[in-house]
Amino acid sequence: MSAPAHHRPRGYRNPHSRDRHGGSGLASFLWEWARSRPTGEPPMVQRADLSFLRGNRSVPTATWLGHATYLVQLDGLNILTDPHLSPRASPFGFAGPERLIPPAIDLANLPPIDVVLLSHDHYDHLDAPTLRALAEAHDPTVIAPLGHAALLAALGCRSVTELDWWAQHRRRGFSVTAVPVQHFSGRGLRDRNRRLWAGFVFEADGRKLFFAGDTGYSPDFAEIGRRFAPIDLSLLPIGAYAPRSFMRPVHVDPDEAVKIHQEVGSRLSLAMHWGTFRLTIEPLDEPPRWLARALDAAGLPADAFRVPAPGETVYW
């Protein structure tokens, strides 16, 4: 049998893009990023209702902890997406993008975590100290794309399930399907695209959650909609998009996030991947303003695609 289109002899690729997101474009971006000064204000952190979240076993909720990390509660399960609660998104504790807001819930105050959805291996999504602490304190099931098992095992994660795109994992009354998104992977100079990247559709208690992870816009979202719509809740990135000449293949802007919301048939979407780390050069507080304009241009109400404050719990 021939390999899937996104498989390569030594890794993976994007079927809908040939942009390597590197070379002179990367050098130019890094120079521009280093020269630019941060503008705009990060979001204000709201006090999370820890007592409710620890005891909740019946009400579907989603609480943004910052960046791509949501605590989702569904059917008695506590689910974390791309858990990152460390001071930097970096392999180094002394350098690299610094966290601009504290985690809305710190490690010590998390409820028992049952499942971790891990979209890919970049340092702002796969944070080794956070995963190591979660493995020790909670021993969650970690669901990740192909190629992550060895790395996660080295961090102490004992229950790891790897999925290819469109593969499904079933357990304890829930199912998780890895779905294609357009991005890339790598934690060093020699592992570019050796591990797969993915989004996830999580189904339990008759509800569907879509976690997009990190992605540029591609035809994949229309296909996700054809297979899974309607989706009750989508967690979609809205930031880290500038300059568009370099970021377009791998990071959506708010206009594209609204298009994804529509194509996957989302009843409610919540924003993420903005205002926590300075990864690109747009003003820190620009993504929500652009999202509001994009929703208006699409004829959608503001409450169809919300921007929670860090620590705010949304009932869905």
Task: Report the CATH number of the 40-315 domain.
Answer: 3.60.15.10
Both tokens of residue 238? 């809205």
The single residue listed with the structure tokens 């809908």 is 16
User: Does residue 116 carry a pLDDT above 70?
Assistant: yes
Q: What is the CA radius of gyration of the chain?
A: 18
Calculated CA dihedral for residues 139, 140, 141, 147, nearest 10 degrees: -80
DSSP 98: B
Average pLDDT over residues 94-106: 94
Token pair recorded at residue 48: 């999370």
For residues 278 and 96, which has the higher predicted lDDT (pLDDT)?
Answer: 278
What digits encode the pLDDT tens for the residues 297-312? 999 999 999 999 999 9
pLDDT at residue number 34: 86
- Interval 125-140 mean pLDDT: 98
Phi-psi region of 35 (alpha: psi -120 to 50; beta: other; left: phi over 0): alpha
pTM over 0.85: yes
| Residue percentage of the chain with pLDDT more than 70 | 100
pLDDT digits (tens, 9 = 90+) for 191-235: 999 999 999 999 999 999 999 999 999 999 999 999 999 999 999
> Binning pLDDT at 50, 70 and 90, where does residue 37 land?
confident
For 167-178, write each residue's pLDDT tens digit: 999 997 899 999
Average confidence score pLDDT of the chain: 96
Structure tokens at 224: 């996700």
Query: What pLDDT, in 10s, does the model give residues 248-302?
Result: 999 999 999 999 999 999 999 999 999 999 999 999 999 999 999 999 999 999 9
pLDDT of residue 1 exceeding 70: no
User: In 3D, which of 67, 72, 80 has the Cα closest to residue 315?
Assistant: 72
